[in-house]
């Protein structure tokens, strides 16, 4: 539901000025500061009266009795709704982003770089999460004998993501046996998710063991060794820029709680899933994340889904304190989401 906002033009202008001044300085905003900056030369007394009304309406808070006022979460929500959405990144920022993503080869690489770029542009935490779906399905596998009882397994997803793992097996397979096993998997399971491949192999081992005896024994051993184990890459999570939150955060215990949350990547996935809808067409700004993570009451998420054509392959976001450069961060998230679609569509992933 949209914020109604202050009723009068002067109240709206003063509230906007307070939010922008606090974002720029980090200091509680007083009436004299606003009076000096006012083009209309509004008196400090008039501003104090307006500030009192805004405080009564829940838009301003006073951290100390003698201090100025700071915006509440309600004020930030109002401020974000007033942004026109027509802002653009500077040519320097756009050029730097395009250069940083030059030569990106797949979804995972793009997401990893996205978390880094967003952390730099926003001075917050950059987050990117790949989604489960067709692009994480199996394209092909390759097995190579390295030494006795040692096999290199390479699994390639349709997104272009490549995972390799060195396996130690109870049986010593020949290269021919490994190639036969890989060919069987590639011919029968291309386009399947890894979990579905494992379940189907288990089913066939039970029902057709006599027919596939030696072949299935090889595949079963490779599977038990971890070649087709549970895939952490089904939802790769990239988080970068947590150090950006340390400098200006006074509540050290709450900050420690936040850092623990961001280190638990499953919680990051839950956080983006709670607030970034795959169906949304624009960047979403959520001020106050306490519904998903109680200790993130005073933090903001600016997020968007990552599309390649009509398919959602992940989500990207900036997480930061309520005092942040909203317009610049919103524009950066929007630009990178569009660039994601453009680059990976051109590569026909």
Domain ranges within the chain, ordered by starting residue: 9-82, 91-133+234-346, 136-232
Q: Which long-range contacts (CB under 8 A, 24 or more apart) does 201-210 make?
A: 201/228
Q: Does the structure show a pLDDT above 80 at 322?
A: yes
pLDDT band at 54 (very low <50, low <70, confident <90, very high): very high
- The region, left, alpha or beta by phi > 0 then psi within -120 to 50, assigned to residue 61 is beta
Helices (H), the chain: 9-25, 31-37, 44-56, 73-82, 91-100, 107-122, 175-189, 194-207, 213-225, 252-263, 265-275, 326-346
How does the average pLDDT of the chain come out, rounded?
80
Specify the higher pLDDT residue, 254 or 1.
Answer: 254
pLDDT band at 349 (very low <50, low <70, confident <90, very high): very low
Only one residue has tokens 């756009």, namely 94
CB 194 within 8 A of CB 234: yes
Q: Which long-range contacts (CB under 8 A, 24 or more apart) does 99-103 make?
A: 101/339, 101/343
CATH architecture of structural domain 91-133+234-346: 2-Layer Sandwich (3.30)
Can you tell me the mean pLDDT for 186-203?
A: 80
Which of 31-35, 143-147, 203-207 is predicted with the least confidence, judged by mean pLDDT?
203-207
Q: Does the structure show a pLDDT above 90 at 249?
A: no
CATH number for the segment(s) 9-82 = 1.10.10.10
Which of 140-149, 224-233, 234-243 has the highest mean predicted lDDT (pLDDT)?
A: 140-149
Q: For 280, phi and psi rounded to 5 degrees?
A: -70, 145
Which of 208-217, 219-228, 268-277, 307-316 is predicted with the least confidence, judged by mean pLDDT?
208-217
Only one residue has tokens 């906002």, namely 5
Q: Does the structure show a pLDDT above 90 at 133?
A: no
| Nearest-angstrom CA–CA distance, 185 and 180 | 9
Listed in sequence order, the residues at least 6 apart from 144 whose beta carbon sits closer than 8 Å to its beta carbon are: 151, 152, 154, 175, 178
- The pLDDT tens digits of the residues spanning 31-41 come to 998 988 887 77
Q: Does the structure show a pLDDT above 80 at 9?
A: yes
Q: Does the structure show a pLDDT above 80 at 264?
A: no
| CATH class in words for 136-232 | alpha beta
- The distance between the two most distant Cα atoms of the chain, rounded to a whole number of Å, is 92
Q: Coil, helix or strand for 251?
A: coil
Q: Does the structure show a pLDDT above 90 at 53?
A: yes
């Amino acid at each position: 539901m949209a914020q109604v906002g202050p009723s009068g033009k002067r109240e709206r202008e003063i509230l906007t000025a307070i939010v922008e001044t606090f974002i720029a300085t980090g200091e509680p905003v007083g009436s004299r500061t606003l009076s000096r900056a006012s083009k209309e030369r509004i008196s400090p007394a008039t501003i104090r009266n307006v500030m009192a009304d805004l405080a009564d309406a829940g838009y301003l808070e006073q951290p100390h009795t003698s201090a100025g006022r700071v915006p509440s979460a309600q004020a930030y929500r109002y401020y974000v709704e007033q942004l026109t959405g027509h802002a653009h990144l500077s040519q320097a920022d756009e050029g730097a982003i395009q250069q940083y993503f030059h030569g990106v080869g797949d979804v995972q690489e793009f997401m990893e770089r996205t978390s880094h770029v967003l952390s730099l542009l926003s001075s917050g935490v950059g987050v990117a999460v790949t989604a489960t779906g067709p692009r994480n399905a199996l394209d092909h596998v390759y097995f190579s004998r390295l030494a006795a009882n040692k096999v290199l397994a390479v699994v390639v997803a349709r997104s272009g993501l490549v995972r390799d793992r060195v396996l130690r097996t109870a049986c010593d397979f020949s290269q021919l046996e490994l190639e036969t096993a890989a060919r069987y998997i590639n011919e029968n399971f291309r386009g399947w998710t890894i979990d579905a491949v494992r379940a189907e192999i288990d089913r066939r081992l039970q029902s057709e063991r006599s027919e596939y005896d030696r072949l299935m024994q090889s595949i079963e051993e490779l599977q038990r060794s971890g070649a087709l184990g549970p895939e952490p890459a089904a939802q790769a999570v990239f988080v970068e820029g947590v150090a950006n939150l340390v400098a200006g955060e006074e509540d050290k215990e709450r900050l420690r709680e936040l850092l623990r949350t961001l280190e638990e990547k499953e919680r990051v996935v839950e956080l983006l899933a709670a607030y970034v809808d795959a169906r949304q067409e624009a960047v979403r700004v959520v001020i106050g994340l306490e519904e998903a993570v109680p200790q993130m009451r005073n933090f903001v998420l600016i997020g968007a889904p990552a599309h390649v054509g009509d398919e959602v392959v992940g989500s990207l976001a900036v997480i930061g304190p309520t005092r942040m450069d909203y317009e610049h961060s919103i524009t950066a998230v929007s630009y990178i989401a569009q660039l994601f679609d453009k680059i990976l569509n051109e590569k026909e992933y």
